[in-house]
C-alpha cells in the first residue's frame, strides 16, 4: 500500500514537472515568435521601401516623362498630370513647341529618378511612402 502511495506521489511530481516544463517551453516559444515577427515586419518594411525606391528611380530615369514612377509610388494624380502633359506635348510637337514640353517632363523624371536613388532607404520610405511628398 505504501508502495502504491509512493508511486502515486512520484507520478504527481512527474506530472507537475511536465506542466512546469510545458509552461516554460510555451513562454520561450511565444518570446521567440514575437521576436521573429518583429524582425520580419521590420525586414518587410525595409525591403518594400527599397524595392519601390529602386523601381521608381529607374523608371523615372528611363520613362519619367510618362509619369510611371508616380503611379508606382501611388501618386495617381501626379502621374496623370505628367502623362497628360507629355501626350499634349507629343501632339503639339508638329507645331514645334511640343518638343520642349516633352523635354521638360523628361527632365522632371530624370531629376526625380536621381533624387530617389540617392536617398537612403529609410529617408525614401519616410519621405515618399509615409510622408506622401508628390514632387521632388
CA 106 to each of CA 21, 99, 115: distance values in angstroms, whole numbers, following the listed order? 66, 11, 14
In tens digits, what is the pLDDT along the chain, a chain of 136 residues?
556 666 667 777 777 776 777 677 667 767 765 666 566 556 555 545 556 888 899 999 999 999 999 998 888 999 999 999 999 998 888 888 888 988 999 999 999 999 999 988 888 888 888 777 777 6
Contact 38, 55 (CB under 8 A): no
- Residues 13-46 pLDDT 10s: 777 776 777 677 667 767 765 666 566 556 555 5
Q: How many residues does the chain have?
A: 136
CA neighbours closer than 13 Å in the CB half-sphere of residue 87: 7
pTM of model > 0.75:
no
Q: What is the pLDDT of residue 123?
A: 87
Going from N- to C-terminal start, the domains of the chain cover 2-130
Q: What is the pLDDT of residue 132?
A: 78
Amino acid at each position: 500500500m505504501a508502495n502504491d502511495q509512493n508511486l502515486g506521489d512520484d507520478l504527481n511530481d512527474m506530472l507537475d514537472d511536465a506542466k512546469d516544463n510545458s509552461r516554460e517551453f510555451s513562454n520561450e516559444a511565444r518570446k521567440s515568435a514575437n521576436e521573429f515577427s518583429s524582425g520580419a515586419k521590420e525586414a518587410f518594411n525595409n525591403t518594400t521601401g527599397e524595392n519601390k525606391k529602386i523601381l521608381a528611380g529607374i523608371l523615372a530615369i528611363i520613362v519619367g516623362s510618362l509619369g510611371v514612377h508616380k503611379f508606382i509610388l501611388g501618386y495617381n494624380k501626379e502621374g496623370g498630370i505628367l502623362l497628360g502633359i507629355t501626350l499634349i506635348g507629343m501632339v503639339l510637337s508638329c507645331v514645334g513647341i511640343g518638343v520642349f514640353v516633352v523635354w521638360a517632363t523628361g527632365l522632371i523624371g530624370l531629376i526625380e529618378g536621381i533624387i530617389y536613388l540617392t536617398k537612403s532607404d529609410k529617408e525614401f520610405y519616410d519621405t515618399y511612402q509615409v510622408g506622401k511628398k508628390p514632387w521632388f
